[in-house]
Copies of this chain bind each other. A is one copy, B any other.
Amino acid sequence: MAIENVKEALDTLKNNGIRMTPQRHAILTYLFQTKSHPTADEIYKALEKEYPSMSVATVYNNLRVFREAGLVQELSFGDDSSRFEANSSIHYHVVCRECGHIEDFFYPCLTDLEKLAAKRTGFTIESHRVELYGLCASCQEKGNV
């Protein structure tokens, strides 16, 4: 289910009848290369030297296309703008309340939690999200409280 690299992503797009363009290729490549969780604007700024004519609206449009094709995950951490990441295997996020730094955190899937939630609420559960908040190592060193 998870898309591990750009090539698999391209295949998925092809199978869904979605055209490949240089802009899309660049956005996808950037998302698969980075470990950060960039906003649409950060992606735009990272690529605008390579694609001077590309607008931020194009980035938004294509991120939506990717999201709908299941290639990309959109994350909202409560700050201003959404963040995006390539949809790899299941993992959770650790977020620093001081500097906003985000790290991935792998953990066995919380199947029991999903089952109990379904039983208690009557929902059918399809997915879940976990975020942990605290202070990153760097902000601890700086003496932030």
Contact = CB atoms under 8 A, between A and B. Distances in A.
A96 to B, nearest CB: 7
A135 interface: yes
A114 B106 CA distance: 12
Range, interface on chain A: 35 or more
B121 A116 contact: no
A6 B119 CA distance: 31
Contact of A123 (B74, B96, B123, B127): B96
A51 interface: no
B134 A123 contact: yes
Contacts of A76: 76-78
Interface in A53-88: 74-78, 82
A129 B124 CA distance: 20
A132 B136 contact: no
Contact of A122 (B82, B117, B129, B136): B136
Given A74-B78, A128-B130, A130-B130, A135 B113 contact: no
A140 interface: yes
A123 B135 CA distance: 5
Interface of A: 74-78, 82, 92, 94, 96-97, 103, 105-107, 110, 113-114, 116-118, 120-137, 140
